[in-house]
Amino acid sequence: MLYNWLSFVIFWRENLNLKRNKFVCFLFVNLVSILLLFVFLEFVCLVIAERNILFNLVSSFQQVDKPEMPKISLSERFSFMKDIAIQHYYYQYKEPLIPQEQFRMPYTGAKYNGDDIVLAGCSVTKGDGLKSDDTFGAVLTEMYPKWRAYNIGVSGGSARETLYILRNYKNYENWGVLPKNPQNTKYFIYTFFAEHKMRIYHDLYRRGPKFDIKKDKNGQKYLEYREKTDFLSKTFMSQYFTSKCCLKSDKYLNNLLTLYMQEIKKEVDSIFPNSQLVFFVFYGDEDTFDMPALEKMGIKVVMWDYISDVKLWDDKYKTWDKLHPSRLAWETILPYLGKELDL
């Protein structure tokens, strides 16, 4: 009897250990499989990102409609992807997120009287594809020489980059990117076009600063900078799938844009107390933003299609990349804009 009982206990323990070992093995194999799948998908998305970056670099040097991709060796390609990965995982999350070298320097008119203008927006404002002397700020100070123009346009940027720069004003002031005497600033012009709405929502064009929507004690919404970003949102997979799958309605994006402009208005009023915030619609109609809400906040809205019949998307007003406005475009825009703002 005792022998049978001991035999049963030994058998049960051995069987339990076997089941436990099988479970541990099963768990380990699945975890490794998930990790390998994650690495594989991240590598695929890295390849997609690398190809897009390489294509944009080639486009910037080959002034043709259909640039040819260069033939590079496998080792050179892997080296390029390694550099992109290091930049993506490490440097893009270092403060400041938008370094000094990404900006145009200010332009001062020949008859400068102490009054400043700050220009904000994306590559349209910055002047991608143009020499410095042909950009928005340069042409403005040529036509209206009493002004100094500061240009904080950022390639691939939107209202969230503008808000980040304003909330880190002292850094950019010390670099000479923004005025040292902000009380002399009379206009803060944010140049908008319809695609900015998607840019404030995801990182399709650049890894931008993150802001979370919060509510104060009175239930009013505001934007709070996200100091830390979780690991998954830093991956190439997150960047790719957010841009492809996480689409929002126009109403949501319009409201989000209004919230960003509300926060920009607060910063502009605080930093530049004598200035007027101008929302200059370079390309877009009334459906692309909430005009009544912006005007109610005290933002002056200037729509190009309302002040001129000139079609800026005609090729003669574009640079060689067929995308960004040329010097001729700014020479055409500024007389109308100057009249609206009494420059």
pLDDT reported for residue 151: 96
- Do 135 and 82 lie in one domain? The reply is no
- Looking at the structure, tell me whether residues 185 and 44 fall in a common domain: no
| pLDDT digit string, tens, across residues 125-167 | 999 888 999 999 999 999 999 999 999 999 888 999 999 999 9
The 3-class SS string of 140-200 reads: HHHHCCCEEEEECCCCCCCHHHHHHHHHCHHHHHHCCCCCCCHHHEEEEEEEEECCHHHHC
* Domain match, 302 and 171 both: yes
The verdict on residue 182 lying in a domain is yes
Q: What is the model's pLDDT at position 329?
A: 94
Residues 285 and 306 in one domain: yes
Q: Which of 62, 89, 116 is the last residue of a domain?
A: 89
In-domain check, residue 282: yes
Residue 165 resides in a domain = yes
The CATH number covering residue 128 comes to 3.40.50.1110
Q: Are residues 192 and 286 in the same domain?
A: yes
- Residue 113: the pLDDT is 92
Q: Which of 66, 89, 112 is the last residue of a domain?
A: 89
Give me the DSSP letters along 56-122.
Answer: HHHHHHS-SSSPPPP---HHHHHHHHHHHHHHHHTGGGSSSSS-GGGSPPPEE-TT--SEEEEEESS
Distance in angstroms (rounded) separating the CA atoms of residues 285 and 303: 8
Task: State which residues form the domain around 250.
Answer: 100-341
Per-residue pLDDT of the chain (343 residues; tens, 9 = 90+): 555 555 555 555 555 555 566 666 777 777 878 888 888 887 877 777 766 666 655 554 444 455 565 666 777 777 777 777 766 666 555 666 788 888 999 999 999 999 999 999 999 999 988 899 999 999 999 999 999 999 999 988 899 999 999 999 998 999 999 999 999 999 999 999 888 888 887 765 566 788 888 888 888 998 888 766 666 666 777 766 666 655 567 788 889 999 999 999 999 999 999 999 999 999 877 888 999 999 999 999 999 999 998 988 888 898 877 788 999 999 999 999 999 999 9
Domain co-membership, 229 together with 107? yes
- Give the model's pLDDT for residue 29: 73
Are residues 124 and 144 located together in one domain of the fold? yes
Residue 201 falls inside a structural domain: yes
Total count of domains within the chain:
2
Task: Quote the CA–CA distance of 238 and 232 in Å, as a whole number.
Answer: 7
**Shared-domain flag, residues 84 and 104:** no
- 128: in domain: yes
Indicate if 74 and 130 belong to the same structural domain: no
Q: Is residue 142 part of a domain?
A: yes
94 located within any domain: no
pLDDT value for 186: 96
pLDDT of residue 288: 86
Residues 214 and 329 both lie in one domain: yes
> Where a domain ends, among 89, 118, 144?
89
Residue 256 falls inside a structural domain: yes
Both 73 and 140 in a single domain?
no
Regarding whether 127 and 36 lie in a shared domain, the answer is no
